[in-house]
Amino acid sequence: MYQDEYHPQVKKDIKHLTPTLRELIQTQHLPKLLANPYQGELLIGDLNGIRSYHFTSAKQQC
């Protein structure tokens, strides 16, 4: 299993989310990403080598 590290801006962005969405990310999506960090869409161009993970929650795409 991998260890999670975040850019400082991520912490600021998470503060602006609803408490329900924050909990959903912490309890469901982060464990999935830590178990398999290679899931998600592989980006191209200048962001080559970086992956983007998307999910939807109650009519809100994240």
Return d(Cα 62, Cα 49) in angstroms, integer. Answer: 21
pLDDT of residue 27: 93
pLDDT of residue 61: 57
Segment 7-51, tens digit of pLDDT:
899 889 989 998 988 999 999 998 998 899 898 899 999 999 999
pLDDT of residue 9: 92
Which tokens belong to 39? 């899931």
pLDDT of residue 7: 86
Return d(Cα 57, Cα 28) in angstroms, integer. Answer: 11
pLDDT of residue 62: 60
Query: Could you give the angle at the alpha carbon of 33 between the alpha carbons of 9 and 38, nearest 5°?
Result: 105
pLDDT of residue 10: 87
